[in-house]
């Protein structure tokens, strides 16, 4: 799952975050384009993508309109609409009028009665939310999505719905008379309950478990598995019984395929991903199925070399095409043969697969400036194209659903309708796709085998596959763990994409149908050549599987069955965990420091509940070699202060009971465990002796010894003392346990508790144990006394200070924020260190005098990246608050060294502004810092103090530039707090004199540079360079305007003569002649919104790219798919 921050926003089709409204806590967050939920780890996979087969009824749809009055005066953080009902379910809209911690209106659809619904509820809805533009309806901001609502995610929507600056701008039309109109279109489908669904029983096939974000891999593996010839080849790859699946891709794949063939339940993929060399983080990264397909096939091809199955990948998937360039006027032709394992077909602008193939072989003419250099013939007019020499038996077609949008400089998903046939004839039209060298005796008729579907947006989503394993009419949907039967309409037509129309069911209301973009559509198609069908869809049975593999996998299966039986019979058994002195000696000071033992690391026995306890003692005698008469068992008890200590010995009556009865008496937590301490006494000769009789005033105490020089705590033994006795009376005995001289002075401390904080107090040696409230199971820590002097360089001179240190110590790995993958240094800190303590230690390590210039950012344990927001100055109390992420504690922090103290910086707004001098070419990049309440006018005044102006009284303006277009001139009174320079370039410039005195018929127009690029045989306009404004006068011809532009830009005549001039409206160029009157094209006076129309200067882009353009968001990491082994 790649964790991505939102891309630059465009009102019509933005890339932004779509999350439950509680997204402020950073878990694995769904991020989308389009928008569409992304699967998150490792939930129940009931996300939008996996809901398709659950919608078993026609959807019911309705529109809800919410009129919110006095909108700008709302002072609450969030606001709910009235409840409305669609499809028998109650809904409401939730908004954050001032944004959910963002400078955008945040808006969600919420399940109104989620708090009272039964456990395990879920409902699926397609919906759109809109803020109506009350001046121009076409400017209404509307976004749609789909979601599976459940207890974890009872609301869903858009954190960044629309910029607050647009919403609250009275000129924009979203607030009229301070009233906001919100519309919600909701379509609901009833959901089938799949809790008890058995894929094997219903379909004969099993699914694959999702490790977090591995659905893209699961859909590909199912597709490959269901090509039996491929599966057979994998089984025949040589492996040995000594191979380990996690270290061998062939063995891991054989194991996975075997389980898919013979298991009754879904199969895990962890062995396979480990064999790829992936760590857990890779499994949580959403990757591209096409990329994985290529990488996996290359890896398998390599592993098959030198084996009986060498060449299988080529035999199945390899085809060849011929690239040619043929001159028109001379006899010259250049050809190049290339192989392919899959074909990438255009979706944009193509109605179906045949149209894509037509486009693939389309002839391009090389002429004019683009002539072909034909060796001795020089530059020639020529034809360039591609034809196919042969197609493979298994044809993999990758549909280009994702394309680069030059206008937005980002990837977008193409959700257009795109059809694909059940039978594909590539010999059509007399073999127009075939080269002259193609073997025409081979019939290139293909039948569809599988459709891989992507549901979601460009930054994530869900993958699943429709497959017909034996090429009959029966299709199956493989959606991670779930396999369902589907009909051909579901597998084909419903995966074409495009728009889905849902009729309204609200009688008497506006009955226009709802249209929703279908974010689920085919992404990869697999066709099998009809003439090769019998060879490829062959029988694969146990004889194809190596004997050692069968034995290994059957053994695994038996072990799994044993575990299942073990679980099924668990209610008949009790686990008895027996701790002994040996365990305490082994663990204290190494694994644990507080209390006495980690019960998960002691000897345990699985005993039938009906067994009498006395018989269990015989079991212990056999296992541990301690005869029954020398055993005494103590029950542990959890105290009110959360410590866990031996409480009392079992009575003879209790030992006569069954194990099950005893467990119930001792343990109110209703788990199947009984925890005991086994007391074993030894005489002076170390021979076993029966335990001494314990009377009421005998107390069993446990002793730990602390050495401040070694910073070491260890267990030294236990003693019975009389409650009326005093610690003074056992000092010699303790010295003996410690190996000290008998007269060594020692100090005693009682370890009382350690949660939530350590409590360890000095024990009065002269007071009786009863007076000091000492009881069975208490722990006494002791050390030599007096403690070491301060000059002895001992960090923790006594037991309390050492236990305090152990409780709170924390190694923290610090990383520079600009290099978030590399540890720079480690510091040993304490969890209870204050904010000031932490930054002081970091500053000290970096030899920095002022710790307030350190800014820290916490770590996201799921994405393994910095969180988006740094820690504000003294906003957290302790180090532990910086490290906690959900229920996990991280050990990573990121640091920055600022140029001014953080408290000062927090009161300021920093804007990155590019200042364009009136006469100089190069822009000056300024970082303007001003108090947050400042205005744009204050920014311009600050700029004047930092730059050289063409004249002292020059006026400045601030523009918002985005990908070489001017989107806004900021009013001088606008507050800077809401200005976002993360995505836009802010440009300051002098206002030319001619613009200050516009005549009645003058127009101020946008002028942009552009070039035309041909991508996939489509012409696209791409802007570049610096946009600017120009005054045009009434009746002025293009020739006159050109002269002024040439003078302004100082372009040499020779260069300028090559420039073309066009009027562009919505990206379409209309070329102008020198005699054209320019002002007739530009009738609108307002500059706002004028980027839709501009005067375009077409010429080649020779300008160097500026580094300040649209700065990238913080912390975005993309990892390619890699298989390391």
Give the catalytic positions in this structure: 215, 462
Q: Give the whole-angstrom CA distance, residue 946 versus residue 345.
A: 53
DSSP string, 1014-1051: EETTEEEEEEEEEEEEEEE-TT-BHHHHHHHHHHHHT-
CA distance 935 to 930: 9
Q: Tell me the C-alpha distance between 694 and 697, whole Å.
A: 8
Distance from chain centroid for Cα 456: 14
Which parts of 226-360 fold into alpha helices (H)? 228-235, 249-262, 270-275, 280-283, 289-304, 312-317, 353-360
CA distance 1043 to 1057: 11
**Exposure class string for 900-927: b at 16+ Cβ within 10 A, else e:** eebeebeeebebebbbbeeeeeebeebe
Q: Which two three-digit tokens encode residue 493? A: 């037509």
Query: Which helix (H) or strand (E) covers residue 880, if one does?
Result: helix 879-883
Per the document, the length of the chain is 1125
For residue 856, give every residue at least 6 positions away whose Cβ sits within 8 Å of its Cβ, in sequence order, or none: 838, 839, 842, 870, 871, 882, 893, 894, 895
How far is it, in rounded angstroms, from Cα 51 to Cα 44?
12
E-strand stretches of 917-1017: 924-931, 956-962, 965-969, 985-990, 1003-1015
Identify the residue whose tokens are 């979203």. 174
Please give the Cα distance from 692 to 593 (Å, whole number). Answer: 29
In angstroms, rounded to a whole number, what is the distance separating the alpha carbons of residues 393 and 527? 8
| SS3 state at 531 | helix
Block residue for tokens 């439950």: 20
C-beta atoms surrounding 328 within 10 Å: 13
**CA–CA dist 815, 905 (Å, integer):** 21
Classified as helix, coil or strand, 347 is coil
Backbone angles phi, psi at 613, to 5 degrees: -60, -35
Q: Strands 1003-1015 and 1093-1098, how do they pair?
A: parallel
Q: Which of 1113, 1091, 1105 is nearest to 959 (CA)?
A: 1091
3-state secondary structure of 574: strand
- Contact of 496 with 81, CB cutoff 8 Å: no
Strand partners of residue 645: 637
DSSP string over 171-219? TTSS-BTTBEEEEEEEEEE-B---TT--HHHHHS---B---SS-HHHHH
What is the separation of C-alpha 556 from the centre of its chain, rounded to a whole number of angstroms?
33
Distance, CA of 880 to CA of 837 (rounded, Å)? 12
CA angle, corner 440, sides to 435 and 446, nearest 5?
95
CA 654 – CA 660 distance, rounded (Å): 11
- CB within 8 Å of 215: residues ≥ 6 apart: 39, 45, 49, 462, 463, 464, 479, 480
């Amino acid at each position: 799952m790649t964790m991505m921050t939102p891309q630059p926003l465009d009102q019509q089709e933005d890339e932004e975050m779509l999350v439950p409204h509680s997204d402020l806590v950073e878990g694995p967050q769904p991020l989308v384009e389009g928008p569409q939920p992304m699967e998150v780890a490792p939930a129940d996979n009931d996300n939008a993508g996996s809901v398709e087969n659950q919608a078993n009824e026609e959807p019911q749809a309705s529109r809800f309109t919410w009129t919110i009055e006095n909108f700008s005066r709302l002072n609450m953080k969030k606001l709910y609409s009235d409840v409305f009902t669609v499809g028998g379910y109650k809904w409401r809209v939730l908004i954050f009028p001032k944004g959910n911690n963002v400078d955008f209106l945040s808006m969600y659809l919420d399940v109104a009665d989620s708090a009272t619904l039964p456990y395990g509820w879920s409902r699926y809805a397609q919906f759109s939310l809109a803020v109506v533009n009350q001046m121009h309806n076409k400017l209404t901001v509307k976004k749609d999505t789909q979601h599976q609502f459940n207890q974890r995610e009872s609301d869903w929507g858009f954190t960044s719905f629309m910029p607050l600056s647009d919403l609250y701008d009275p000129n924009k039309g979203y607030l009229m008379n301070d009233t906001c109109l919100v519309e919600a279109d909701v379509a609901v489908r009833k959901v089938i309950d799949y809790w008890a669904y058995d894929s094997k029983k219903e379909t004969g096939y099993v699914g694959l478990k999702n490790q977090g974000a591995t659905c893209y891999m699961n859909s590909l593996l199912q597709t490959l598995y269901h090509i039996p010839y491929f599966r057979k080849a994998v089984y025949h790859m040589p492996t040995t019984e000594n191979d380990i699946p996690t270290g061998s891709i062939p063995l891991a794949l054989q194991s996975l395929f075997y389980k898919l063939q013979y298991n009754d339940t879904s199969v895990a993929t962890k062995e396979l991903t480990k064999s790829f060399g992936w760590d857990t983080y890779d499994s949580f990264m959403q990757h591209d199925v096409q990329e994985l397909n290529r990488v996996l096939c290359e890896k398998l091809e390599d592993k098959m070399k030198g084996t009986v199955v060498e060449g299988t990948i080529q035999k199945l998937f390899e085809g060849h095409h011929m690239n040619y360039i043929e001159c028109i006027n001379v006899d010259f032709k250049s050809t190049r043969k290339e192989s392919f394992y899959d074909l990438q077909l255009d979706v944009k602008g193509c109605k179906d697969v045949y149209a894509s193939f037509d486009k693939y072989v389309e002839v391009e003419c090389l002429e004019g400036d683009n002539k072909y250099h034909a060796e001795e013939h020089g530059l020639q007019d020529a034809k360039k194209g591609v034809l196919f020499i042969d197609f493979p038996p298994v044809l993999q077609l990758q549909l280009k659903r994702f394309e680069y949008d030059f206008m937005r400089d980002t990837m977008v998903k193409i959700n257009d309708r795109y059809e694909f046939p059940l039978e594909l004839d590539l010999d059509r039209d007399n073999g127009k796709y075939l080269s002259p060298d193609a073997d025409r005796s081979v019939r290139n008729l293909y039948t569809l085998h599988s459709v891989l579907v992507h549901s979601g947006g460009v930054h994530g989503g869900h993958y699943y596959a429709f497959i017909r394993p034996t090429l009959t009419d029966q299709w199956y949907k493989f959606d991670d763990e779930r396999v369902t039967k589907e009909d051909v309409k579901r597998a084909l037509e419903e995966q074409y994409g495009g728009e889905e129309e849902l009729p309204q069911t609200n009688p008497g209301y506006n009955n226009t149908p709802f249209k929703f973009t279908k974010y689920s559509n085919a992404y990869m198609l697999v066709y099998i050549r009809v003439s090769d069908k019998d060879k490829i869809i062959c029988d694969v049975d146990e004889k194809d599987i190596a004997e050692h593999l069968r034995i290994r996998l059957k053994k695994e299966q038996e072990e799994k069955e044993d575990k299942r039986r073990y679980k099924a019979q668990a209610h008949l058994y009790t686990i008895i965990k027996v701790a002994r002195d040996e365990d305490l000696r082994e663990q204290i000071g190494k694994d644990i420091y507080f209390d006495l033992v980690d019960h998960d690391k002691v000897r345990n026995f699985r005993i039938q509940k009906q067994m009498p306890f006395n018989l269990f003692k015989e079991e212990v005698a056999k296992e541990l070699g301690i005869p029954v008469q020398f055993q005494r068992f103590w029950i542990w008890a959890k105290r009110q202060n959360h410590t866990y200590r031996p409480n009392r010995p079992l009575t003879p009556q209790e030992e006569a009971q069954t194990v099950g009865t005893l467990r119930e008496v001792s343990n109110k937590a209703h788990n199947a465990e009984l925890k005991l301490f086994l007391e074993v006494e030894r005489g002076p000769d170390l021979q076993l002796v029966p335990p001494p009789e314990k009377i009421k005033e005998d107390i069993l105490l446990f002793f730990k010894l602390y050495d401040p020089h070694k910073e070491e705590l260890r267990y030294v033994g236990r003693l019975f003392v009389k409650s009326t006795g005093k610690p003074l009376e056992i000092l010699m005995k303790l010295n003996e346990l410690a190996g000290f001289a008998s007269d060594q002075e020692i100090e005693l401390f009682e370890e009382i508790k350690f949660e939530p904080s350590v409590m360890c107090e000095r024990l009065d040696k002269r007071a009786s144990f009863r007076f000091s409230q000492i009881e069975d199971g208490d722990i006494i820590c002791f050390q030599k006394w007096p403690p070491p002097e301060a000059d002895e360089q001992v960090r923790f001179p006594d037991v309390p200070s050492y236990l305090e240190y152990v409780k709170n110590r924390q190694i923290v790995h610090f990383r520079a924020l600009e290099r978030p993958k590399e540890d720079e240094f480690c510091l040993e800190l304490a969890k209870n260190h204050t904010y000031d303590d932490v930054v002081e230690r970091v500053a000290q390590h970096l030899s920095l005098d002022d710790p307030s210039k350190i800014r820290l950012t916490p770590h996201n344990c799921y994405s393994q990246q910095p969180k988006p927001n740094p820690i504000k100055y003294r906003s957290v109390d302790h180090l532990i608050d910086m490290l906690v992420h959900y229920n996990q504690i991280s050990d990573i922090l990121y640091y920055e060294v600022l140029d001014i103290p953080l408290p000062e910086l927090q009161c300021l707004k920093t804007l990155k502004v590019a200042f364009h001098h009136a006469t100089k070419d190069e822009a000056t990049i300024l970082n303007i810092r001003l108090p947050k309440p400042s205005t744009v006018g204050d920014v311009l005044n600050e700029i004047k103090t930092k730059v050289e102006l063409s004249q002292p009284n020059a006026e400045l303006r601030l523009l918002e530039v985005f990908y070489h277009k001017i989107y806004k001139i900021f009013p001088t009174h606008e507050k800077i707090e809401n200005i976002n320079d993360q995505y836009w370039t802010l440009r300051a410039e002098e206002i030319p004199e001619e613009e200050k005195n516009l005549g009645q018929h003058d127009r101020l127009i946008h002028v942009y540079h552009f070039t035309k690029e041909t991508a996939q045989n489509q012409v696209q306009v791409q802007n570049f360079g610096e946009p600017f404004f120009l005054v045009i006068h009434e009746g002025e011809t293009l020739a006159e305007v050109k002269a002024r532009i040439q003078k302004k830009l100082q372009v040499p005549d020779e260069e300028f003569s090559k420039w073309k001039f066009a009027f562009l409206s919505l990206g379409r160029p209309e070329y102008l002649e020198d005699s054209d009157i320019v002002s007739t094209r530009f009738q609108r006076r307002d500059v706002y919104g004028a980027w839709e129309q501009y005067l375009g200067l077409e010429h080649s882009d020779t300008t160097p790219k500026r580094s300040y353009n649209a700065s990238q968001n913080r912390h975005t990491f993309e990892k390619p798919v890699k298989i390391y082994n």
